[in-house]
Structure 1
Amino acid sequence: MKRIGSIMALLGIVAVVMNYLDRVPRLLMWIYNWGDTTAWIIKIGLIVVGAALYFLGPKEEEDVEEAKIESKEE
């Protein structure tokens, strides 16, 4: 989930930055069909949902395995 979240957040941030440079990522060209307000809502939504998935996602597999080993030792 962390990988998906980071990709979503990064895509949203890139879309916001590129909007100021008058460029649009091809992947997000369709969001401008509904107007600028809707495009901003979608871009901000990508950032917020992506960050939520990243920060609320499960730990990495190494961390989970270490926790299992520590709990068995106790």
Structure 2
Amino acid sequence: MKSIGGLMFVLGLGSFLLNFMNMEFKLLTWIDNWGPTVGTIIRVVMIVVGVALWVLGNRQEKAVAAG
């Protein structure tokens, strides 16, 4: 979960920042198909879910190591 969360966070944040420069990752060009507002919401959700998965994965790794 930690690696998937990290990837989602990086892609979401990168997509969010690149969007301000009128650029986009080729993998994520579909995001703006429903309009710029929905695209921004999808990017923010990717960032939030990515952080959540990374934190949960980190906790899970610590629990396994401790016990």
TM-score when normalising by structure 2: 0.87
Kindly report structure 1 stretches of 4+ aligned residues shifted beyond 6 Å: none
Alignment root-mean-square deviation, CA: 1.4
Structure 1 residues not aligned, in runs of 5+: 69-74
Give the Å deviation of 1:64: 2.6
Name the residue aligned to 2:17. Answer: 17
Distance in structure 1 (CA, Å) of the matches to 2:16 and 2:32: 13
Structure with greater Cα Rg: 1
TM-score by length of 1: 0.79
Matched, 1:36 2:55: no
Aligned residues: 65
Q: Tell me what 1:48 maps to.
A: 48
Unpaired runs of 5+ in structure 2? none
Query: Matched residues in 2 for 1:21 and 1:32: separation?
Result: 14
Amino acid at match of 2:61: K
Work out the percentage of aligned pairs sharing the same amino acid. Answer: 43
Partner of 1:59: 61
Query: Match of 1:59, as an amino acid?
Result: E
